């Protein structure tokens, strides 16, 4: 039941897929090789682990040269996980895929998936090794200034909503809008696009002033509709369950946790389910240890050095607060295998019916980031003014209330973008879908 729309292709010189596959992917694999080499230098690895590491290094090196010479995609060897079969079936269906002449979405997922098999079929040490951990953790450490500012703002907001009398409808709406902006622009700091961000650049992408001036860069803004939903939820006897399909670890995850705290404390959600990935994915996507690293690092005060006592306490209290949500089951983390398949989300009802049921029964599903957006929209080359519901395909269906009520918070870092007012795209600067400077807040109520 796929759309018949053409998809972004690495062979199209006018696409972002074109330079991504030729420039950024080889760089990502080079960094992977460096990371393996650095790890091999470390003392304490057993002889078997050193041998295994060298083998992985040579596998990644080969993968990289096949990519650079536009070789064919090979079937992925089975590592015992069921999703590999799906990748290989799709590869057969696509026929004659080479790295630089193939559907962007498929091939990029394929790259991270085959990379993972090198590790998953190695020794236990390498099986649990995440070659992106260092960069994911560093980005959070480098985000110190933005993180402190954000946590303070979060605590201030919690005080305001606790003081219910003082919060009128307009203020409540303003708080929601700010939370959406925070969570949205948190997505501007993913690591696969921004291979070398300095601390200054990170700061400038994360502060409040920037968020405000960035508002005009939100080219699709359904915040009002999402607000209407939330403000009705409390009175409608709903399930009180909201899902967040996460994107990146580090600063973005911090903004997501702020959003979580906001939704729970203001009574819009009783329980939040976070969806992460089961394996290292698109460089910076969240794996379970990344969430633990953040929450523990805040709770025990080890995340940042040289904080003044007051900031330190605020950060620790906040970390402990998130920990308490997890301990009480109000905040849950899941990593369904579906998220690391190549499938566009419209195939979810067929490919992963249980996950679809789970999402369809929720009050709201929030999708973060660019990759999720590409998967929601089949990475299609849609006219920019195509309605959002049209690209969603089966997820948009209202059959028996069984669609997924979706809110997307995404900074644009690819080719696809829809739901713009007719004529709007033409007024934007060249390359606007690619740089992360523009963003969309798209909402679709599949239940009403
Ligand atoms: O190739 C760059 C890229 O990996 C895109 O393909 C992808 O959509 C994006 O970066 C990742 O962004 P995000 O973390 O927002 O999904
Ligand atoms: Mg990502």
Q: Minimal CA–CA distance to 364: which of 210, 217, 254, 234?
A: 234
Could you please report the per-residue DSSP string of 393-408?
GGGG--GGG-S--EEE
If you measure from the C-alpha of residue 127 to the centroid of ligand 2, how many angstroms do you get, rounded to a whole number? Answer: 21
pLDDT at 197: 41
**Could you tell me the pLDDT band of residue 167, with boundaries at 50, 70 and 90?**
confident
Q: What is the DSSP letter of 312?
A: H
The pLDDT assigned to 166 comes to: 65
DSSP 93: H
* 189 DSSP assignment: G
Q: Is the pLDDT of residue 191 over 50?
A: no
> Which numbered atom of ligand 1 lies nearest the CA of 369?
15
Which residue's C-alpha comes closest to atom 12 of ligand 1?
A: 370
pLDDT digits (tens, 9 = 90+) for 79-96: 999 999 999 999 999 999
Nearest to 325 by CA among 397, 272, 362: 272
Task: Say whether 268 sits in a helix, a strand or coil.
Answer: coil
Between CA 330 and CA 328 the distance in angstroms is 6
Q: Give the phi and the psi of residue 49 in degrees, each rounded to 5.
A: -70, -35
Segment 38-66 shows an average pLDDT of 96
CA distances from 201 to 45, 140, 189, 194 (A): 36, 13, 10, 10
CA distances 381 to 52, 236, 426, 431, 440, Å, are 42, 38, 16, 15, 17
Q: Give the percent of the chain with pLDDT over 70.
A: 93
Structure tokens that stand for 73 in this block: 């995609």
pTM above 0.90, yes or no: yes
425 vs 403 pLDDT, higher one: 425
- CA 247 – ligand 2 centroid, Å: 5
User: What is the dihedral sign for C-alpha 180, 263, 176, 420?
Assistant: positive
Proximal ligand: closest to the CA of 371: 1
Q: What is the mean pLDDT of residues 193-199?
A: 41
Q: How far is the CA of 441 from the centre of ligand 2 (A)?
A: 17
Mean pLDDT of the chain, nearest integer: 92
Q: Compute the distance between CA of residue 41 and CA of residue 50 in angstroms, rounded to an integer.
A: 9
Report the pLDDT value the prediction gives residue 194, as an integer from 0 to 100: 38
Atom of ligand 1 nearest to the CA of 187: 15
DSSP conformation letters of 411-426 = E--SS----PPTTTGG
Which of 416, 409, 412 is CA-nearest to residue 435? 412
| Per-residue pLDDT, 175 | 86
Contact 392, 444 (CB under 8 A): yes
pLDDT for 399 beyond 70: no
Mean pLDDT in residue range 20-25: 97
Angle between helices 133-142 and 251-265 (to 10 degrees): 70
Q: What ligand is nearest to the CA atom of residue 369?
A: 1
Output the pLDDT for position 253: 96
Tokens in use for 20? 């991504």
Sequence-distant (≥ 6) Cβ neighbours of residue 431 within 8 angstroms: none
Judged against a pLDDT cut of 60, whether residue 260 lies above it is answered with yes
CA–CA dist 176, 183 (Å, integer)? 11
Q: Which residue bears the tokens 């201030």?
A: 156
CA 191 to ligand 1 centroid distance, Å: 8
User: pLDDT higher for 331 or 161?
Assistant: 331
181 Cβ partners below 8 Å, 6+ apart? 211, 214, 215
Q: What is the mean pLDDT of residues 251-276?
A: 96
Nearest CA to ligand 1 atom 4: 192
Q: What ipTM, to 2 d.p.? A: 0.95
Average pLDDT over residues 399-406: 78
Concatenate the DSSP letters of all residues of 20-53 into one string: IIIIIHHHHHHHHHHHHHHHHHSTT--HHHHHHH
Is the model's pLDDT at 262 over the cut of 50? yes
Per-residue pLDDT at 11: 98
Is it the case that residue 202 has pLDDT exceeding 60? Answer: no
230 pLDDT above the threshold of 70 = yes
User: Which helix or strand (DSSP H or E) is residue 159 part of?
Assistant: helix 144-162
Chain mean position to CA 343:
15
Residues 204-218 have a mean pLDDT of 70
* Predicted pLDDT of residue 210: 64
CA distance 399 to 422: 29
What's the CA gap between 405 and 293, in Å, rounded? Answer: 31
Among 97-106, 125-134, 182-191, 227-236, the least confident range:
182-191
Which of 146-150, 402-406, 419-423: highest mean pLDDT? 419-423
Q: What values do phi and psi take at 272, rounded to 5?
A: -125, 135
Rounded CA separation 427/361 (Å): 39
Helices 223-233 + 169-185 axis angle, to 10: 120
For residue 104, the ligand 1 atom closest to its alpha carbon is 6
CA distances from 425 to 8, 114, 203, 406, 431 (A): 18, 36, 29, 23, 11
Ligand 1 binding pocket mutation candidate from 27, 103, 105, 192 (most atoms within 8 A of CB):
192
What is the DSSP pairing of strand 439-444 with strand 406-411?
Answer: antiparallel
Residues having CB closer than 6 A to ligand 1 are 20, 24, 108, 187, 190, 192-193, 247-248, 282, 369-371, 374, 413-414
Considering every ligand atom shown, identify the ligand nearest to the alpha carbon of residue 290 and give its number.
2
Question: In whole angstroms, what is the distance from residue 195 CA to residue 283 CA?
Answer: 10
Give me the residue label for tokens 């590409």.
Answer: 374
Token pair belonging to 111: 């790259």
Distance CA 355, CA 273 (A): 12
């Amino acid at each position: 039941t796929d759309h018949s729309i053409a998809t972004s292709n690495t062979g199209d010189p006018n696409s972002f897929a074109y330079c991504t596959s030729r420039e950024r992917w080889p760089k990502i694999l080079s960094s992977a090789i460096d990371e393996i080499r650095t790890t091999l230098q470390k003392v304490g690895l057993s002889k078997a682990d050193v041998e295994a590491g060298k083998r992985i290094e040579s596998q990644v090196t080969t993968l990289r040269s096949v990519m650079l010479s536009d070789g064919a995609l090979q079937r992925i060897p089975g590592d015992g996980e069921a999703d590999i079969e799906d990748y290989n079936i799709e590869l057969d269906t696509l026929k004659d895929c080479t790295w630089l002449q193939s559907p962007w979405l498929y091939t990029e997922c394929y790259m991270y998936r085959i990379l993972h098999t090198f590790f998953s079929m190695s020794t236990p040490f390498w099986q649990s090794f995440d070659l992106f951990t260092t960069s994911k953790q560093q980005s959070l450490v480098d985000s110190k200034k933005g993180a402190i500012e954000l946590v303070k703002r979060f605590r201030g907001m919690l005080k305001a909503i606790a003081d219910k009398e003082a919060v009128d409808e307009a203020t409540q709406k303003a708080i929601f809008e700010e939370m959406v902006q925070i969570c949205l622009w948190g997505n501007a700091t993913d690591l696969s696009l921004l291979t070398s961000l300095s601390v200054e650049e990170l700061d400038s992408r994360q502060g409040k002033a920037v968020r405000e001036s960035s508002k005009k860069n939100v080219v699709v803004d359904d915040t009002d509709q999402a607000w209407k939903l939330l403000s009705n939820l409390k009175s409608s006897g709903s399930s009180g369950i909201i899902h967040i399909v996460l994107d990146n670890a580090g600063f973005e995850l911090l903004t997501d946790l702020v959003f979580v705290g906001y939704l729970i404390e203001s009574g819009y959600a009783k329980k939040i389910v976070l969806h992460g990935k089961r394996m290292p994915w698109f460089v910076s996507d969240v794996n379970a240890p990344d969430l633990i690293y953040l929450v523990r690092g805040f709770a025990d005060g080890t995340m940042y050095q040289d904080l003044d006592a007051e900031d330190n306490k605020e950060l620790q209290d906040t970390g402990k607060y998130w920990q308490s949500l997890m301990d009480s089951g109000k905040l849950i983390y899941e990593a369904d295998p579906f998220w690391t398949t190549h499938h566009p989300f419209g195939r979810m009802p067929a490919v992963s019916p249980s996950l679809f049921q789970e999402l369809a029964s929720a009050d709201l599903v929030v999708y973060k980031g660019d990759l999720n957006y590409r998967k929601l929209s089949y990475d299609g080359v849609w006219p920019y003014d195509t309605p959002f519901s049209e690209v969603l395909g089966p997820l948009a269906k209202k059959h028996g209330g069984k669609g997924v009520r979706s809110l997307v918070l995404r900074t644009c870092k690819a080719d696809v973008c829809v739901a713009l007012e007719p004529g709007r795209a033409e007024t934007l600067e060249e390359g606007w879908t690619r740089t992360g400077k523009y963003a969309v807040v798209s909402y679709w109520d599949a239940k009403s």
